[in-house]
Structure formats: structure tokens, C-alpha cells
């Protein structure tokens, strides 16, 4: 087995070797290289202790020194170098109480989650594969290192990582690992919502997002979808239409979450997204998409304008994609709606208050009283302009104001 290492990685390993220490690339970068995929990150493991690593390189950052990790900076790129370690007892189903450094690569590898992530490599030793990782890569199999139940007791997040790797790599989960998931799944209650969200995000944005169904197959949904101990409404099942839509969809976070949650109302989707600690923008977008996923949009400018006002300009594109994927509008209708939207945008039609050619200050000068009346008048003007885009002209708008202000 030969892996072409970046020059900087070779230099780090060579520097460690010349100083009398071992150095290997390890984990995901070895897995990806063996699969013929260019690794995004190159992690290095070593027999050198953190202070010894720091003494060997000019620029280092203490990114996780209590766990043995030092980032070595070469030019503007950082490379994590971590000391071989043995994890102590796990205090909370997620973090070890203590970390003990060890001179043994074998001890370091056997604490890792899955066999495909427990391989190491350097040019002199070649591939170090003590737990059958290469066999599992060839068999397209996710299998824990050693006792699967023990690995999940140590860190229950590994359960979701198993599902995520299955989706990202297109691998099956071994029977032993499946059994351990069912045995230890309640420990997922110990995992933060942020960590759960990130694993599910990666799963849904993978090449096989339909494997979100594994969450339901293993009956994990009722455990991970809750807020402060209270259950949150979630999709009761992953039907064929949902899974097909996910498979066919673009890798857009808001779109794929909206497909998964399309059976929920907008408000239910809002509660769900907040329970998983999503950011406000993503939450708001998914809420709107779920609320209008099955609402018919006529192929008329006024209908398109009104929907854009409800969901937003960029969100409108996602809504049409969502409706098309779920079968609420066919390809011809989706294309026609997008053409109308593009015509509206190209023409520069006013769709929101900010698009009006006059503002609140202009209305004050026209004698409109400060406060609610300003807002009401702007809304009335926008209604007129949405119906007839040619009215978005300062002179025409001032004339309309004169006609309407007596009615406020």
C-alpha cells in the first residue's frame, strides 16, 4: 500500500522520526486515501508527547494539548499532531475522565470507533491495520473496533457516526454493530443536541441522504428528537416519496431538511429545528418551506409575487424545487413558475417595503403622522405596486399618498 503524502506531512513525520519518535497519518485521511478520495485533512499521531512535538517545530498552537493535540503550522496550513493515548473511563457517555499518553500505536488505535478509522500509515512502515479496516473497506462495512457495545458505551455519538458513515460511504453496518446500537441507543440522551444536529446534517448532505431512514429503523427518533426531556413531533416514518425526493435533491441543507420534515406543519418544523439548536436563518427557511410545501401557486405574476413575499426571493427557488420533488407541481409547472420569477426579478418589480421608491421620511414630509400610520401607508403602497409594477415611481406614489391619507 502506497499513499502519496503532501510534502508538509512528509516533513512532519520525517522530523519526528529523526528525533527518535514515531509518526503516522491516522484515521479518516488513511481511510479516504485507501478509497481513492483526496483527504480533506491530514491528522498525524505520534509517540512524542505534546511538549516534545512543540520543541521540534517553530510554530505550533495548543489546540487540544490536554488531550495530546498540538497543531503544527507550516506556512498557513495547520496539521494536527496527537500523542498516542489511552482513554480512561468515560464519565458521561461522551468524554473520558482522563487521558493517559502511551508509547504504543496499538493502544492508540484500539480506542478508536470503527475499523476503517483505525488504520495508520507512514512510508517506512506502510499500512498499519491491526483490526481489519482494509477488509471492511473492501466489504463496504461499518464495524466497531473490538466490542461494539463498549465503543458505544464510551461515546454514544458513535451510534450516529455509524449511520452517517454508512450514508457518506455507501456502506452497510455490520450485524454486531447493529445489535450494539439497539442495546446502547438510550445513551443518546446524554449527547448534546448540537452534536446530534451536526451528525444528522452530514448524513442528510451525503450521497445517500435516504439513509436518514436508519434513524427510524433503529427507533432512535424518539430519543434524539426531544427538547428538555419533552418529545418533539417528528416524521412518523420515511415513506418512499420522501426517500426518493431526498435521493433526487440537490445537496442544500434547507431543502433536504424540508423534504425530511415535509409531513410537519410550519410551526411543528420550527419547534423541531429549534430543539436541535439550528441557527435562526436555517430554522426560519425550513419553517416557511414546510408551511407552503403543498400550497398551489398559479402560473400568474400576482400569484408568484405573493408567494415570494411570504417565503422570500431566494427561498422561492427552494420552494419550487421542494414542490417539484414531492410531486406537488410537475416539471412544466415548476419551469413556468421559475420563468415568471426571473421575469419579475429582471424587471426590478417591488416586492418588499425596501423596494418602494419612497420611504417613511418621505411620508412624514407629506404630513403622515409618525407611528402606525407610516407603516399602514407603506403597506398600502406596496399592495398597489405589487398589483401594478409601473406605479413604483416617486411622483405616482406621492399622488397615491394624497389620495389615501384621508382614509388613515
Phi, psi values for residue 195, rounded to 5°: -70, -40
Give the integer Cα–Cα distance in Å for 185 and 152: 8
pTM: 0.92
C-alpha cell at 387: 398589483
Beta-bridge partners for 64: 69
Mean pLDDT of 304-333: 97
Mean pLDDT of 203-223: 97
The pLDDT tens digits for 339-382 are: 999 999 999 999 999 999 999 999 999 888 888 889 999 999 99
| 305, pLDDT greater than 90 | yes
Give the integer Cα–Cα distance in Å for 130 and 176: 19
Pairing of strands 69-74, 60-64: antiparallel
Instruction: Give residue 97's pLDDT.
Output: 66
Residues in contact with 121: Cβ distance below 8 Å, sequence separation at least 6, in sequence order: 1, 3, 24, 25, 26, 30, 33, 127, 128
Give the integer Cα–Cα distance in Å for 147 and 216: 24
Mean pLDDT of 88-99: 66
Contact 380, 404 (CB under 8 A): yes
What's the pLDDT band for 310 if we cut at 50, 70, 90? very high
- Round to the nearest angstrom and report the end-to-end CA distance of the chain: 80
Reduced DSSP (H G I as helix, E B as strand, rest coil) percent helix, strand, coil of the chain, to 5: 55, 10, 30
C-alpha cell at 77: 496550513
Instruction: Give residue 98's pLDDT.
Output: 72
What phi-psi label fits residue 212: left (phi over 0), alpha (psi between -120 and 50 degrees) or beta? Answer: alpha
Q: What is the mean pLDDT of the chain?
A: 95
Give the integer Cα–Cα distance in Å for 209 and 202: 9
What are the helix and strand counts (H, E) for the chain?
21, 13
Residue with the three cell numbers 481511510: 31
Give the integer Cα–Cα distance in Å for 37 and 39: 6
| 93, pLDDT greater than 70 | no
C-alpha cell at 178: 447493529
What's the pLDDT band for 96 if we cut at 50, 70, 90? low
The pLDDT tens digits for 137-188 are: 999 999 999 999 999 999 999 999 999 999 999 999 999 999 999 999 999 9
Of 32-36, 230-234, 335-339, the one with minimum mean pLDDT is: 230-234
Rg (CA), the chain: 28
Instruction: Give residue 390's pLDDT.
Output: 96
Instruction: Give residue 90's pLDDT.
Output: 63
| 303, pLDDT greater than 80 | yes
| 282, pLDDT greater than 80 | yes
Instruction: Give residue 277's pLDDT.
Output: 97
Instruction: Give residue 88's pLDDT.
Output: 66
Instruction: Give residue 408's pLDDT.
Output: 64
Residues in contact with 98: Cβ distance below 8 Å, sequence separation at least 6, in sequence order: 88, 89
For Cα atoms 1, 72, 114, give the angle at the middle one, nearest 5 degrees.
45
Amino acid at each position: 500500500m502506497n499513499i502519496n503524502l503532501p510534502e508538509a506531512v512528509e516533513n512532519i513525520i520525517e522530523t519526528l522520526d529523526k528525533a527518535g519518535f514515531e509518526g503516522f497519518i491516522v484515521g479518516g485521511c488513511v481511510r479516504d486515501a485507501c478509497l481513492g478520495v483526496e483527504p480533506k485533512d491530514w491528522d498525524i499521531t505520534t509517540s512524542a508527547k505534546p511538549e516534545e512535538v512543540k520543541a521540534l517545530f517553530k510554530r505550533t498552537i495548543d489546540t487540544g494539548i490536554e488531550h495530546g493535540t498540538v497543531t503544527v503550522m507550516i506556512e498557513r496550513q495547520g496539521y494536527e499532531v496527537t500523542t498516542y493515548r489511552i482513554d480512561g473511563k468515560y464519565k458521561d457517555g461522551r468524554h473520558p475522565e482522563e487521558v493517559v499518553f502511551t508509547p504504543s500505536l496499538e493502544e492508540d488505535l484500539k480506542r478508536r470507533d470503527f475499523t476503517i478509522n483505525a488504520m495508520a500509515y507512514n512510508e517506512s512502515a506502510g499500512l498499519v491495520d491491526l483490526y481489519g479496516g482494509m477488509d471492511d473497506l473492501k466489504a463496504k462495512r461499518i464495524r466497531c473496533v473490538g466490542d461494539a457495545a463498549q465503543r458505544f458505551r464510551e461515546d454514544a455519538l458513535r451510534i450516529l457516526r455509524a449511520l452517517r458513515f454508512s450514508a457518506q460511504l455507501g456502506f452497510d453496518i455490520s450485524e454486531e454493530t447493529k445489535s450494539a446500537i439497539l442495546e446502547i441507543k438510550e445513551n443518546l440522551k446524554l449527547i448534546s443536541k448540537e452534536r446530534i444536529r451536526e451528525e444528522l446534517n452530514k448524513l442528510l448532505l451525503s450521497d445517500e441522504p435516504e439513509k436518514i431512514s436508519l434513524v427510524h429503523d433503529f427507533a432512535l427518533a424518539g430519543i434524539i428528537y426531544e427538547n428538555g426531556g419533552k418529545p418533539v413531533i417528528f416524521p412518523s416514518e420515511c415513506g418512499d416519496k420522501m426517500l426518493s425526493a431526498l435521493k433526487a435533491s440537490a445537496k442544500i441543507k434547507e431543502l433536504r431538511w424540508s423534504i425530511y420534515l415535509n409531513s410537519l406543519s410550519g410551526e411543528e418544523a420550527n419547534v423541531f429545528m429549534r430543539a436541535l439548536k439550528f441557527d435562526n436563518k436555517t430554522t426560519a427557511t425550513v419553517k416557511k418551506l414546510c408551511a407552503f410545501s403543498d400550497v398551489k401557486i398559479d402560473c400568474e405574476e400576482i400569484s408568484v409575487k405573493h408567494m415570494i413575499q411570504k417565503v422570500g426571493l431566494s427561498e422561492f427557488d427552494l420552494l419550487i424545487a421542494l414542490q417539484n420533488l414531492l410531486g406537488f407541481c410537475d416539471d412544466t409547472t415548476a419551469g413556468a413558475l421559475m420563468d415568471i420569477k426571473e421575469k419579475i426579478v429582471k424587471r426590478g418589480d417591488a416586492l418588499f417595503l425596501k423596494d418602494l421608491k419612497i420611504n417613511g421620511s418621505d411620508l412624514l414630509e407629506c404630513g403622515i403622522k409618525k407611528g402606525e400610520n407610516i407603516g399602514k401607508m407603506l403597506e398600502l403602497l406596496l399592495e398597489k405596486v405589487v398589483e401594478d409594477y409601473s406605479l413604483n415611481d416617486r411622483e405616482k406614489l406621492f399622488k397615491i399618498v394624497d389620495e389615501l391619507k384621508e382614509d388613515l
